[in-house]
Structure 1
Amino acid sequence: MQLYKSFLKQLIRNYMIGSSAAVLVVGGVLMVTTLDIPFEEGARLMIILAISFMVMIASELTIFLRHLRPIHAGFDEDNIDLEVLEKAYLSVHRMPRMAVYRIFGPHLLGLSLPAIVLTVWMMEQGKLNFPPFYIWLACLGAILLASCHAMIEFFLTIAAIRPLIKEIRRQALSRYGVDFSLEGHVFMAIRTKFLLSTMLIGTFPLFLFSLAVQIRLEGLSQIIAQQYWGWAGFILLLGVGFAYVGAWLLTQDLQRPIRQLYRAMNEIKEGRLIQTSNLYSDEFSNLIAGFNMMVRGLQVREERNRKLLDSYFAALAAALDARDPYTAGHSLRVAEYSVLIGRLAGLSEKEVDILHKTALLHDIGKIGVRDNILLKEGKLTAEEFDQVKAHPAQGENILLQIEPADAMAPYLEGVRSHHERYDGAGYPDGLKGKEIPLFGRIIAVADAYDAMTSDRPYRSGMKSVDALNILEAGRGTQWDPDYAGMFVKYMKTEKKVISIR
């Protein structure tokens, strides 16, 4: 609550300084030094200004307290929950924009309307004597001063709310384990903020001077005044145009590197660790350089993680194959054949990499098969064969235990389905045709070829050409006709197997 009180004092102090400077100093001095009126009328104008100022304060304070209500609730230790904190968090972020609304709402109207009414009344009573069009000039001046005040208040409020944002986030994280974030929501676009601010900075002196001169020229002849405004109007238009072009160029220069970084961050979000071009010679150059340094660090970490993951998969496959000296290297060879088929089928490099890892682990479920069954040299009984047939589902269950779960998700279907048959007579689910997952259909061809060409305790491996003929004969029944066909065709024509590396 102490932080909130400090924030409130800072807002009030900033507001009072800005209001006093804009209304009493700039507005009052401008009227007294520009208007050629007697001292008594000047004093009456200052009284009108003071009364209008008090009305403005009262009306604006009412709206200000309403804007503060959800923020105050967020710092009430006796009545605070996550929803209250979230409302306070969003309300704090809205405070700069709300400050602008207050100044152009109750601030401007609360000052202008009473001033107009009192001035007109005094003019009717004969206590003020100047042309009525001065009132319109005063209204234009009030809008101009309100714009200047709103800009100052906006940026001062941005600085004032930062400690509150930090504290509310800390409270939500410590109390409820929730870290508040706007998730990219923009309350005030940087284009709008800089364009309006720079336009106001460039044109404020021009308009202020024009209003003062208009009042001073009232005492001159109409012809001289018309000649002056023919020239001054052109200068004013030229100044406004220059201010707009300058503001637009500055805004574009600020937005360009921001958009570039935003696009680069989206690429990283999609998993593409790319660096972005450093085309700047100001502080944005340091920002781009730091971003690229971060990306290089991520690239090194990504490469290290990839190598660790590859080693992890290879180690699991080697550990499995080590149980049976007659099948040593089986998983590695099946992975090579699977990658070959995947590339012949035109799979992307990302898909080929997932296929490679899936093939390395396709028999991981055999860890759960007893040695007296897995290493048996004779024919298996029906009960023993049923236990062997359970290894695809058991492999899927093993991978499901690895955290994080989403990291293993791409490999589950291939591991479970690599013993499905294209005609639906396979296991464990009896899937048929294209119902069988893609990787399962590919690994089934590679697994069968290596099993037929490898030596076993109870038989010698058959020749490659014989195994290929069996695959050819089983196209469309046991194996996917497309993948079996392209593998057979390649092996018969090339007489070699391409390594995955």
Structure 2
Amino acid sequence: MMIYRTFISRLMLNYFIGSITAVAGVGGLMIFTTLKISTQEYLWLVFVLAISLCSMVSLEWTVFRIHIKPIRMAFHQDIYDYPQLQKIYLRLHQLPSLAIKRILGPHLFGLSVPAVILTLWLIYSGRLHFPPKYVIVAILGAVIVAAMHAMIEFFLTSYAIRPVLEEVQRMSSHRFGRELSLGGQVLISIKQKFRWGAFLIGAFPLLLYGLAVQLQIGNFQGSGEEYWKWAGYILIVALGFAFFGAWLLTRDVEIPIQHLYERMAEVKEGNLNAQATDMFSDEFSKLVSGFNHMLSGIKVQSNLNNQLIESYFATLAAALDARDPYTAGHSLRVADYAVQIGLLAGLPVEKVDALRKSALLHDIGKIGTRDSVLLKDGRLTDEEFEQIKQHPVMGESILRQIEPADAMAPFLSGVRSHHERFDGKGYPDQLKGEDIPLFGRIIAVADAFDAMTSNRPYRKGLDADRAIQILEEGRGTQWDPYYAGLFVEEYRKRKNRDEYAG
């Protein structure tokens, strides 16, 4: 509650100082130092200014209460709804922009409209004796002063909301256990802030001086025509310079921010080599250095995580192979063969890596098979073979228990489907042709080749040439013709090279 009171007091103080400086200070200085009028006329202008200020304050206070109402609720009522607190958080961030709209809206028109009406009435009633065209100059001056006031109010409000934002964040953490965030939403860009801020800072004194000189000369025509033509050229050039300078300043700030934003987007996509280029000599150099240092730390941690994951997969495969001395190293060899096929097929690096991990774990379901069946010397009975045929389903079930669930998702299809046949006579789902998942079709070739060339208690392994011949004969029936063909063709190319080299 104290934070809210302090916040409101600070906003009111900022507004009071800004209004007094803009309206009474700048506006009063222009009126009372440039107009040559009587004391009675000055009193009438004070009267007009007082009435206009009352109109401005009453209208703007009404709008301000509407703007601040959602924030007031957070400190005067219990909030039991997280989305409602999120809206309050958003409104706090909107206050600086709303301050601009308030000052260029009810503030400006609440002051200008009654001032113009009263001043024209006093002129035409004979109480003020200066040209009505001066009212146009006054309106232009009011717009310029209001624009500067709005800019100052924007930045002061941006500072004032920070303690309140922190307090609302604490409320959210305490009541809902959740962080409040804009989610990357940009309410007003740095480009706009810098461009218009720098332009107004450069243009404000120039325009104000031009209006003051206009009031002092007091003539739009006649002897001052040549002067004003010259002054107009100077004014256009000066304003052009102010705008161009603002554009250069904005661009100088925008380029490094955009550069860092692009690098962060690359990191988000998984590219941990997206280091920012150190091409800035101001404080952005520190940001670039900090970003690159952070990225290096993330890369080190990522490498450690990858090593742990690799060790995890290799350990699971080794644990499985260790149950049967005759199949020791089977999972590693199948993974190597599967990677060869994936590379020959031109699969992306990420896909090949997932294929290798799926191949490492393709027989993980055999952990649930009884030793009396898995380690049996001699051929299996039909019942025992039916038990063995359950290992793809059991392997998928085991991997589904690992959290997070999406971490294992890419490997499940290869584990379940590596015993499917291209002609639909495989197991466990009797899938046919390209209905068999990609990893299943590739691992089936790799698994079959290693199984045929490995020794078993009940038979000696085939030589590689004979196994390759069987693979070729089974293309399109037992194995995918494309991937089996790639493996067969590569084996024969290597054999020919070795024979030629020998």
Smaller-chain TM-score bracket: over 0.9
**Structure 2 partner of 1:440:** 440
**Pair 1:252-2:276 in alignment:** no
TM alignment of 1:42-61, pairs within 5 A: 42-61=42-61
**Structure 2 partner of 1:74:** 74
**Structure 1 partner of 2:314:** 314
Work out whether residues 28 and 46 of structure 1, in 8 Å CA contact, stay in contact via their aligned partners in 2: no
**Pair 1:17-2:17 in alignment:** yes
Question: CA–CA distance in 2 between the matches of 1:314 and 1:428?
Answer: 25
Question: CA–CA distance in 2 between the matches of 1:487 and 1:128?
Answer: 101
Question: CA–CA distance in 2 between the matches of 1:5 and 1:216?
Answer: 45
**Structure 2 partner of 1:299:** 299
Question: CA–CA distance in 2 between the matches of 1:445 and 1:21?
Answer: 83
Deviation (angstroms), 1:153? 0.2
TM alignment of 1:140-179, pairs within 5 A: 140-179=140-179
Deviation (angstroms), 1:173? 2.2
Work out whether residues 79 and 85 of structure 2, in 8 Å CA contact, stay in contact via their aligned partners in 1: no
Work out whether residues 340 and 497 of structure 1, in 8 Å CA contact, stay in contact via their aligned partners in 2: no
Deviation (angstroms), 1:492? 2.1
The residue identity in structure 1 corresponding to 2:478 is: Q
Question: CA–CA distance in 1 between the matches of 2:116 and 2:80?
Answer: 45
**Structure 1 partner of 2:265:** 266
Work out whether residues 334 and 447 of structure 1, in 8 Å CA contact, stay in contact via their aligned partners in 2: yes
Instruction: State the SS of the aligned residue for 1:75.
Output: helix
Question: CA–CA distance in 2 between the matches of 1:139 and 1:493?
Answer: 88
**Pair 1:459-2:466 in alignment:** no
Q: Deviations over 1:27-61 (max 9, x none)?
A: 11210001011122112211211111111000000
**Pair 1:480-2:480 in alignment:** yes
Q: How many residues align?
A: 497
**Structure 2 partner of 1:109:** 109
**Structure 2 partner of 1:332:** 332
**Pair 1:232-2:207 in alignment:** no
Q: Deviations over 1:108-137 (max 9, x none)?
A: 111011111111222233221111101111
The residue identity in structure 1 corresponding to 2:461 is: G
Instruction: State the SS of the aligned residue for 2:76.
Output: coil
TM alignment of 1:141-220, pairs within 5 A: 141-218=141-218
Question: CA–CA distance in 1 between the matches of 2:33 and 2:496?
Answer: 98
Work out whether residues 452 and 467 of structure 2, in 8 Å CA contact, stay in contact via their aligned partners in 1: yes
Work out whether residues 390 and 428 of structure 2, in 8 Å CA contact, stay in contact via their aligned partners in 1: yes
Work out whether residues 365 and 392 of structure 1, in 8 Å CA contact, stay in contact via their aligned partners in 2: yes
**Structure 2 partner of 1:392:** 392
Instruction: State the SS of the aligned residue for 1:457.
Output: coil
The residue identity in structure 1 corresponding to 2:468 is: L
Question: CA–CA distance in 1 between the matches of 2:109 and 2:222?
Answer: 36
The residue identity in structure 2 corresponding to 1:285 is: S
Question: CA–CA distance in 1 between the matches of 2:467 and 2:62?
Answer: 88
Question: CA–CA distance in 2 between the matches of 1:102 and 1:192?
Answer: 18
Question: CA–CA distance in 2 between the matches of 1:80 and 1:41?
Answer: 59
Question: CA–CA distance in 1 between the matches of 2:378 and 2:21?
Answer: 100
Question: CA–CA distance in 2 between the matches of 1:146 and 1:115?
Answer: 15
Q: Deviations over 1:258-301 (max 9, x none)?
A: 11111111111111111121110000011011111111111111
Deviation (angstroms), 1:174? 2.0
Question: CA–CA distance in 2 between the matches of 1:467 and 1:359?
Answer: 19
Work out whether residues 379 and 458 of structure 2, in 8 Å CA contact, stay in contact via their aligned partners in 1: no
**Structure 2 partner of 1:136:** 136
- Percent of residue pairs identical: 56
Instruction: State the SS of the aligned residue for 2:457.
Output: coil
Work out whether residues 73 and 84 of structure 1, in 8 Å CA contact, stay in contact via their aligned partners in 2: no
Question: CA–CA distance in 1 between the matches of 2:79 and 2:341?
Answer: 65
Work out whether residues 452 and 462 of structure 1, in 8 Å CA contact, stay in contact via their aligned partners in 2: yes
Alpha carbons of 1:78 and 1:301: their partners in 2 closer, same or farther (altered >3 Å)? closer
Work out whether residues 330 and 450 of structure 2, in 8 Å CA contact, stay in contact via their aligned partners in 1: yes
**Structure 2 partner of 1:30:** 30
Question: CA–CA distance in 2 between the matches of 1:461 and 1:396?
Answer: 29
Q: Deviations over 1:443-495 (max 9, x none)?
A: 00010000010011111101111111111111000000011111111112213
Work out whether residues 74 and 80 of structure 1, in 8 Å CA contact, stay in contact via their aligned partners in 2: no
Work out whether residues 116 and 135 of structure 1, in 8 Å CA contact, stay in contact via their aligned partners in 2: yes
Work out whether residues 334 and 359 of structure 1, in 8 Å CA contact, stay in contact via their aligned partners in 2: yes
Q: Deviations over 1:284-335 (max 9, x none)?
A: 0110111111111111111111111111111111110000001101011101
* Structure 2 residue runs without a partner (length 5+): none
Q: Deviations over 1:388-423 (max 9, x none)?
A: 111011111111111111111111111111000000
Deviation (angstroms), 1:496? 9.7
Instruction: State the SS of the aligned residue for 2:475.
Output: coil
The residue identity in structure 1 corresponding to 2:281 is: S
Instruction: State the SS of the aligned residue for 2:161.
Output: helix
Deviation (angstroms), 1:80? 4.3
Q: Which deviates further from its counterpart, 63-72 or 379-388?
A: 379-388
Instruction: Please tell me the root mean square deviation across aligned C-alpha atoms, in Å.
Output: 1.5
The residue identity in structure 2 corresponding to 1:238 is: V
Alpha carbons of 1:305 and 1:422: their partners in 2 closer, same or farther (altered >3 Å)? same
- Please list every run of at least 4 consecutive aligned residues from structure 1 whose deviation after the TM superposition is greater than 4 angstroms: none
* Structure 1 residue runs without a partner (length 5+): none
Question: CA–CA distance in 2 between the matches of 1:427 and 1:171?
Answer: 56
The residue identity in structure 2 corresponding to 1:21 is: T
The residue identity in structure 2 corresponding to 1:293 is: H
